[in-house]
Structure 1
Amino acid sequence: MMKVAVLGASGKLGSVISDAVDAADDLDLVARIGSRDSLETLVETGAEAVVDVTTPAAVMENLRFCIERGIHAIVGTTGFDEERLATLRGWLDEHPRVGVVIAPNFSIGALLMMQLAAKAAPFFESVEIVELHHPTKADAPSGTAQRTAALIADARREAGVGPVPDATTTALEGARGAEIDGIHVHALRIRGLVAHQEVVLGGVGETLTIRHDSLDRASFAPGALAGLRAVPAHPGLTIGLEHLLGL
């Protein structure tokens, strides 16, 4: 069985994933590591892979430690810009057998929502994204929304679709949300929500809304486990869990 550790195990998501790994017949949970615990525990317990659900401030040091010691990683932590991704690729070039997966979302439903949105995007003139999360979420827009916007923009470019129409000339700052690669993204932070996103597409005389709702953090566990099982066969850097799941 693969020996697995969870980094950020004391958080709400980390606790759910730790329990899921512990319950899996083919995975062996060897460590639940919190912010006060030493990364040397990974070496002491013989961890072969980790799930990192820590913070943007901690994740790069965690990954450097793991890569240098041949430990695979599934990463649900956000905050990866091109500079950070380039750094990861440099580390992985020196350790070519290690696999790292940056996963903006672990939910299978969310992955399918992103893929369906990208497939639909070239057929509609307009498209915008609304993401809705709990108010304790630190980043906005979410990593899932950023990934969705990038996939939609890529699909529209490949299909030769022009810019999304928008005649706005005056607006309060932020009224049109953030803009990612030409796609507007709106972030809501509402008590009682977990993680939700809808992609609204529009053409002449019709609209299409693709929506995904995570009602419980348990929805993130199956994707994280599937990523752990697949990562040894995918060395190097992978962006998006869908590449490991045949989506």
Structure 2
Amino acid sequence: MKKIIVTGANGKMGQEVIRMISEQEDFELVGAVDVSNVGDDIHQLLGIDAPAVEISDDLALTLEKTDANVLVDFTNVTVVMDNVKVAMEKEIDVVVGATGITEVDLDRIKEMNQGATNKVIIAPNFAIGAILMMQFAKQAAKFMDHVEIIELHHDRKIDAPSGTAIKTAELIGENLSKDKNEIEQIEKISGARGGEHDNIHIHSVRLPGLVAHQEVIFGGLGQTLTIRHDSINRKSFMPGVELAIRKLEEIEGVVYGLDNVIDL
């Protein structure tokens, strides 16, 4: 039985994770951590017929009071590293979907995990379609070496560019020719050409009404190729979250990217 604590439990992603947990016979929610609605029963708030689980604002205390063996974190960059550290100290496995994880953060997590028994899966995107989009873009880069990324998210997302866009650029970069002759460009407005990662321009859009979307646009002689993925509902991420929780038993150490735990 996977006995799970969700941090960021009262956020939109956290709520979807809790709904998903309630639908699995071998998953049990034993703790919910958030800074809002503290003391309320998260199941009652979501209209789920399940034993009461009160929202707490103290992860360490929640771990002490429960027999959890998995932490699922959907908080944000300001608190996720502290949550991972607390979970590792308590020797429970972790699935991280919090936004804003950097290479430095990833290195720190790997350092904390050295000599430990914890398993950690960190994914910038849990939508299976998004994983395929990234892999298709990586393959396309073998044949078309001019590319830009446009990522679009809701206006409550605090980091830019998205982790998915950065991961996509890294994957494309593995196959992309670095020898490009580009003209010197003049930005009339600073930032008009977006940011750059691995010599790939990334453009971030933040608007209400969006959820999570990304286009990878390749340009070649007389042609373009656009690979696009759209998450129009947060339920799209739940099969990936469920898969990550189940795959914890099969991995060792820290794994970054859902593509590393599915058969592509």
Report the TM-score, using the length of structure 1 for normalisation: 0.94
Q: Going by fraction, where is helix more abundant, 1 or 2?
A: 1
Q: Which of 145, 154, 157 is matched with 2:165 structurally?
A: 145
What is the match of residue 23 of structure 1? 23
What is the match of residue 136 of structure 1? 156
Matched length: 242
Instruction: Measure, in 2, the Cα distance between the counterparts of 1:108 and 1:130.
Output: 19
What amino acid does structure 2 have at the position aligned with 1:38?
D
Contiguous gaps of at least 5 residues in structure 1: none
1:77 aligns with 2:77: no
Instruction: Measure, in 2, the Cα distance between the counterparts of 1:85 and 1:162.
Output: 26
What is the match of residue 87 of structure 2? 66
Partners of 2:80 and 2:98 within 8 A in 1: yes
Alpha-carbon shift at residue 163 of structure 1 (Å)? 4.0
Partners of 1:72 and 1:232 within 8 A in 2: no
What amino acid does structure 2 have at the position aligned with 1:167?
I
Instruction: Measure, in 2, the Cα distance between the counterparts of 1:53 and 1:165.
Output: 42
1:104 aligns with 2:120: no
Give 3-state SS (helix, strand or coil) of 1:242's partner. Answer: helix
Instruction: Measure, in 1, the Cα distance between the counterparts of 2:142 and 2:123.
Output: 24
Alpha-carbon shift at residue 11 of structure 1 (Å)? 0.3
Instruction: Measure, in 2, the Cα distance between the counterparts of 1:16 and 1:181.
Output: 34
Alpha-carbon shift at residue 103 of structure 1 (Å)? 0.4
Which has the greater radius of gyration?
2
Partners of 2:128 and 2:240 within 8 A in 1: yes
1:124 aligns with 2:144: yes
Instruction: Measure, in 1, the Cα distance between the counterparts of 2:91 and 2:158.
Output: 30
Partners of 2:63 and 2:90 within 8 A in 1: no
What is the match of residue 162 of structure 1? 178
Alpha-carbon shift at residue 208 of structure 1 (Å)? 0.8
What is the match of residue 33 of structure 1? 33
Q: Which structure 1 residue ranges, 4+ long, deviate > 6 Å from structure 2?
A: none
What amino acid does structure 1 have at the position aligned with 2:113?
L
Compared CA separation, residues 223 and 165, structure 1 to 2 (3 A): farther
Q: Which of 45, 54, 59 is matched with 2:75 structurally?
A: 54
**CA RMSD, 1 decimal:** 1.4
Instruction: Measure, in 1, the Cα distance between the counterparts of 2:179 and 2:31.
Output: 48
Contiguous gaps of at least 5 residues in structure 2: 36-55
Larger RCO: Structure 1 or Structure 2 (Cα < 8 Å, ≥ 6 residues apart)? 1
Instruction: Measure, in 2, the Cα distance between the counterparts of 1:189 and 1:238.
Output: 29
